[in-house]
Structure 1
Amino acid sequence: MKLIGSLTSPYVRKVRVVLAEKKLDCPLVLEDVWSADTSIARSNPLGKVPCLVLEGGEALYDSRVIVEYLDTLSPVGRLIPVPGRERAQVKTWEALADGAMDAGVLARLEATWPGRAEGERSPAWVERQLGKARAALATMERGLQHGQPWLCGAHLSLADIAAGCAVAWLEFRLPEHAWRDGHPHLDALMQRLMQRPGFAETRPPQ
């Protein structure tokens, strides 16, 4: 089994953190999906990472599918509860975090993609996407305001991993927006997460 991805993708980082938490060995094969000679379409016709290639050659994508599969491979550190309300809560937090990343990526592409001339960029579109990211972070902050260490109670779950990857990516790619300001509980969550090897070792290169 191998993971195709990049060192800066927050979606790839989510998978890598899950691999570390589950203590699963899986080599990372670096791929630049923006390169003219990228080969990612051989494994994922959508041309996106992460993509998990299984031993028989079958490929899994996107990150939500991959982490759910990985959580079944080892009993160590269960990250997604069994079907029921708790599972739905964890998956909803993951969807919120992924949505914040989606919005941040769209905002950054609109502002920086070299395929678009300066006069073709839409500040209103950028602001709309950043508004979604801000709303997601505010929701995460409220979810932590009652003093519990993790989003879904006393134990780390996929909810925290997804949220941490989202916040870290927004801080990495859009530092001018100071995401930690006004989010003390979310900041504390990030500090807890960075004490875990899976997060510390997957920090994107500066």
Structure 2
Amino acid sequence: MKLIGSAASPYVRKVRVVLAEKRLEYQFVIEDVWAADSTISTSNPLGKVPCLIMDGSEAMFDSRVIVEYLDTLSPVGKLIPAQSRERAEVKTWEALADGVMDAGIAWRLEATWANRADTERSQAWMDRQSVKIENGIAAMAKGLGDKPFCSGIHLSLSDIAVGCALGWLTYRFPEIDWRANHGNLAKLHDKLMLRPSFADTQP
């Protein structure tokens, strides 16, 4: 398999962590989707990463689709439960974490996109994304509580998604001091960073 992506993308990191946890071999191909000579659209018509190229040159995209597929390839470290209610819980955690990242990326693009003049940037839009991030982090902390992992006592996709979201916020928005306000999330993130899958994929 070949994974096309950016080392800084939290969605790509989520896929890379799952690949590592599942002990699946793959080739990582760096792609800058913003570059004029980017060829990502030949694999993903939406022009986004991550994109997984499988043996028959078939492409799979969107991190949620990819990680669900990868979890079926190896019995090692099952990350998504088979049972409907537990499965829905894990996928809801993933949606929450991805939503925080979506808001962060929307905020950052509004603030930094080179093709937009400063006078064209909307502070109201950025403030709206900031509220989504704050609410999302608070919901993560509340949902985690005093549990060792987001969905119980074992590592799951819930923790991987949350860990990637928190790591990306630290990388792109160091001014958001989520660690000081949510000690349980800081403890979880520190525990995840002890795993090679997280340590080796830091943005």
TM-score normalised to structure 2 length? 0.99
Residue 43 of structure 1 aligns with an amino acid whose one-letter code is S
Aligned residue in 1 for 2:195:
196
Divergent runs of 4+, >4 A: none
Q: Aligned-pair distance for 1:179? A: 2.3
Matched, 1:107 2:107: yes
1:178 positional shift: 1.7
Alignment of 1:124-135 (within 5 A): 124-135=124-135
* Cα distance in 2, alignment partners of residues 134 and 191 from structure 1: 20
CA apart distance, 1:180: 1.6
CA displacement, residues 66-88 of structure 1 (integer Å, 9 cap, x when unaligned)? 00000000000000000410000
In the TM superposition, what whole-angstrom CA distance separates every residue of 1:150-176 from its partner, at most 9, and x where no partner exists?
A: 000000000000000001101100111
Match of 1:67 in 2: 67
Q: Secondary structure at the match of 1:68?
A: helix
**Residue in 2 that maps onto 1:48:** 48
- Partner residue, 1:39: 39
CA distance in 2, matches of 1:121, 1:11: 25
For 1:121, give the aligned amino acid.
R
Q: Counterparts of 2:90 and 2:38 in 1: how far apart (Å)?
A: 34
Within a 5 Å distance, the mapping from 1:36-185 to structure 2 comes to 36-145=36-145, 147-185=146-184
> How many equivalent residue pairs?
203
1:29 alignment partner in structure 2: 29
The residue type paired with residue 123 of structure 2 is P
Q: Distance in 1 between matches of 2:18 and 2:11?
A: 11
Shift of 1:143: 1.2
Secondary structure of residue in 1 paired with 2:29: strand
Q: Which whole-Å CA distance do the structure 1 matches of 2:133 and 2:60 have between them?
A: 27
Counterparts of 1:123 and 1:172, CA distance in 2: 22
Residue deviations 1:124-170, cap 9 Å, x none? 1001001101111101101122x211000000000000000001101
**For the residues of structure 2 that align with 1:30 and 1:133, how far apart are their CA atoms?**
28
Q: How far apart, CA to CA, are the structure 2 residues paired with 1:203 and 1:186?
A: 17
C-alpha distance in 1 between matches for 2:181 and 2:46: 37
Percent pairwise identity = 64
State the AA in 2 paired with 1:33.
V
